[in-house]
Structure 1
């Protein structure tokens, strides 16, 4: 390739960034990527007339083990790549908090700098999540800028939306260009109101038009817990359509109780929201005809050409697509780097931003949010005519029932008290009464050798449950292993009187709650560290924020070894108390309790993420072609 710009790719992934640079005339001489599944994709696109060119060497290894010495004095003019983003991502914030450079993955920029120092390219292009500059007060970002600058590079960085550069997807990414000579100015958007041409953004319908069949019917939904709701979601909206904040007359989710991709159905006449690498059964984007997008359609939404081969099982391919830089965005950046810094041209392929230019994509994002409210109101008027919303008297429900249980999920409900129990079985009597605005529950362990009395009070429910604002529970239990079944009884009572599906749907996601529902518990347990920890985390005021183990151990009056044992015991009872052992994204001595109640769904994972990864290595966690949907831990 005459005049090609020799380029080394780090953290190559499935090659989206590399492909865009190759299309712009850069010669990718080598790719360094740790994941074998991604390396298989890279290899499949090397050779002959394939997408990445005939001669690309693939190093399937940790970048820390990669030896860059052979590329010293080899004519490398450019290095591209972005380290893994989990430690700075929005998903990371909801999963366990942003730890940034406190995690080994967050320090991979140091290896990036070491390779830059050895190879000495004229230019490098660093790509990462849009939230990196603001993570942890901006400290990690300032540290990175200092490290790159000390190598003698001038730096320009911008957060851009891929949709403004011809990708049929709103995907915000941080792009940083480092260079030694001349100056670099980011290119103007190629589409949208900020572009010189004012060309419209590329829509989903345009991108996948030839993959559609006019005979395809609208589908009924996905089945399962939430699948039947998908046909009711207006185009462009998600689960939030069913919230009180959107004006829904029969709310089924608390505001921001789920990831925003739950039940997200695209507006075909606009770009999609950001594709995800690990979607669940109910995670969008969904086709406007109420189905998952096909792999061919997903590739188009990420701007991969049809001849680019992505290798693996369904879930692996979806992951590679979702983790990729859109090649179209990469092409625009690469062409600008080429024309301005490496192969200077008087007439640039993409005009640069004028002095004082300010992108409007964030303002447009806020405008879309306002538009979604208007769309929701129109859909509600159609789906819920006034005759359906007429006030009707609701009969209060009073009931008494008995439960025989062995473990968490082997439960039998009875109308009469069991006469005897077998093995490890436990028996409970539950009495539920409803009066105006209040549910009262008496929960008693039967046939226990000792009884401890306690209480639970839940307030702030009326926003979501209408006629019910408060739940008062009187408990009489044998030990803390009975508490799981108390919460099953509470969830059962609330769901029976609403259109919600689970207790978490009512309470809200721990990381982004509206702070409407308040829970105060006193089970009368305070003898052991496990009991004291349970009493502490069973109050909503104690949940959703990080604290150090040292501080927590002082609060529950135990030493660190006893605290670790207590956390294990509570997780065995399905309380989601997280540490660095269960969630490697959490720093060493931090701990967080997510909810003041146990996870009641059998599908909600509470095992250690490390154990899960060890046990599932090499397995395909897919269900009918789609990744299983679990409560995100």
Structure 2
């Protein structure tokens, strides 16, 4: 095949070659149909071998399941070594490095990168890899900021820099979540840039969305390309509104067509599993919120992660596939089931015949932690041309340095799109009589029961080791829900304290068809206090279908939608701690990061007692955070998210200490 040497003045010419990606497809003889990305990789690899150019010796760090390695290997880079700590991921790398496998000839090394020192005779031209990114992720930002370099995983970039300094390759590609740029108010990002520059590299960086490069998944990641010399521009998107020829996104439905779905059951089970069926494709748990128009809200706005009960839209790329998640972590198929591992590989553009070793969860970890190979291939080609000066038989159009991509702007408009979808879906559910509202609901129920409160805050019908027996009586009607709790038999008119709960100002429609809730305790006891809230939550779930008390109050970063007033029997001697509980129940000193001095001022107690009071609140089931429980928090600050106890056996905070 004749090579076309197309001179590119990358920095002055306008990127007017609108069909540049289609030209690449033509050269590689690839049609954009189901699983076309696999053929793209195979054809590219074959083509590079046929061209006979000298392979570019490359070191892969933090290789994981091999996403970047697939991409660069396909583009003619010779992966000399793949350094990975996790044995379960190294098994995948070893499996695929065998003869006739996708990464044939590559050498996996199972070692902690901190213990890895390149041999004296190791010479490489390029380094690829991205350190574990959980510390900079959306989950990390959930509690006011990100851990950044305060977390050991946030300092692994220093090992990357150390190896760069030893090997001094021509360049490198570094990938991470975009949250890295905001860690520690941007200080960590400045330090990272400085560290790369100190060892001799000029860096170029952009946040890219994988869907813009032929991946059937919206996945925003930061890419840094560092060079010893020369300049670099990122390639134009190959797909989506920012592509030069407006090539449509690769849809999820087209991507997974024909993939193996054996042994995948319909439904997801569990307490919330039944909710998936009614969610319109493209939406998540927020379909069941007041803001989306659901008449009997189950969840509060933004009270869950965006992938909670997220159902993929077959006509669009899916949202980011996560490496870790719970029973309700999407994406789920529009067929109301989990995606199979084979389908998830397609959505990540991992080749069908690339073997992921391990059980389902281990495979998902490898998929969710990897760079989608198709995005990696386009970046690898751009590096071949600009950095390695390889003459390619096709041109690549590059983004001007100041060119802004539109995926963030489009993302901000999605709420309107989702609302329209939800409105149509809810209207259809009304027609099918699948929605029961409580607006004019007449409700009366009285009764007694026995429950058990465990040390891990499980609320059960049967006794467990260390659990406390609690007697409960209740009278629920449209005027008031009255719940009484006691360690002993319940007697009339013996309440030691009462908590009156009302909807906060402006939230009159609180969705439980009663004017108020009254929690009455016949013992001045921590466990009884906690039990009252557990009993209230139990009835709330049973009667209204709401997920928990948090959904009634709303996510803590918004104004609380319920207010509580706690009053004691006038004959009781009340110590300062119970006064603190009284303040907390009234939403005083909660939902903000506050110092011990600030809490003491709000609660009218001495500062020296604050720490012991906070520990007691945790004993009662309150989620109390500080720098030790959440490293992203400022040292010396405390956070109590809610006015009521929220800890349960599944709470992450349960296993942490102040």
Give the 3 Å change call, closer, same or farther, for CA 116–298 of structure 1 in structure 2. same
CA distance in 2 between partners of 1:578 and 1:474 (Å): 28
1:104 positional shift: 2.2
CA contact (8 A) 1:465 1:497 kept: no
Q: Which residue of 347, 358, 366 maps to 1:312?
A: 358
- Is 1:147 the counterpart of 2:192? The answer is no
Structure 1 residue aligned with 2:272: 226
CA contact (8 A) 2:496 2:522 kept: yes
- Is 1:457 the counterpart of 2:518? The answer is no
- Is 1:369 the counterpart of 2:415? The answer is yes
Structure 2 residue aligned with 1:298: 344
TM-score norm. by structure 1 comes to 0.84
CA distance in 2 between partners of 1:104 and 1:502 (Å): 34
CA contact (8 A) 2:249 2:317 kept: yes
CA contact (8 A) 2:552 2:561 kept: no
Q: Which residue of 62, 77, 83 maps to 2:112?
A: 62
Structure 2 residue aligned with 1:597: 644
- Is 1:126 the counterpart of 2:177? The answer is no
Structure 2 residue aligned with 1:341: 387
Q: Which residue of 531, 540, 544 maps to 1:498?
A: 544
CA distance in 2 between partners of 1:309 and 1:378 (Å): 42
Q: CA RMSD in A?
A: 3.5
Structure 2 residue aligned with 1:172: 220
Q: Which residue of 71, 91, 95 maps to 1:44?
A: 95
Structure 1 range deviating more: 322-331 or 538-547: 538-547
1:341 positional shift: 0.8
Structure 1 range deviating more: 353-362 or 513-522: 513-522
Alignment of 1:297-446 (within 5 A): 297-345=343-391, 349-354=395-400, 356-385=402-431, 393-397=440-444, 399-403=446-450, 405=452, 407=454, 409=458, 426-436=469-479, 439-443=481-485, 446=488
CA distance in 2 between partners of 1:425 and 1:326 (Å): 51
CA contact (8 A) 1:6 1:28 kept: yes
Structure 2 residue aligned with 1:516: 561
CA contact (8 A) 1:480 1:531 kept: no
1:150 positional shift: 2.2
Task: Show structure 1 runs of 5+ residues with no match.
Answer: 414-422, 611-633
CA contact (8 A) 1:153 1:180 kept: yes
Q: Which residue of 574, 577, 586 maps to 2:621?
A: 574
Structure 2 residue aligned with 1:614: none
Q: Which residue of 86, 106, 121 maps to 2:134?
A: 86
3-state SS in 2 of match to 1:331? helix
Give the 3 Å change call, closer, same or farther, for CA 393–192 of structure 1 in structure 2. closer
Alignment of 1:169-318 (within 5 A): 169-211=217-259, 221-318=267-364
CA contact (8 A) 1:48 1:54 kept: yes
Q: Which residue of 590, 593, 608 maps to 1:546?
A: 593
CA distance in 2 between partners of 1:115 and 1:8 (Å): 10
Give the 3 Å change call, closer, same or farther, for CA 292–260 of structure 1 in structure 2. same
Give the 3 Å change call, closer, same or farther, for CA 280–433 of structure 1 in structure 2. closer
CA contact (8 A) 1:8 1:76 kept: yes
- Is 1:109 the counterpart of 2:157? The answer is yes
CA contact (8 A) 1:458 1:472 kept: no
Task: Show structure 2 runs of 5+ residues with no match.
Answer: 1-48
CA distance in 2 between partners of 1:41 and 1:533 (Å): 54
3-state SS in 2 of match to 1:301? helix
CA distance in 2 between partners of 1:82 and 1:587 (Å): 27
Q: Deviations over 1:381-413 (max 9, x none)?
A: 111139878997432425353535464556559
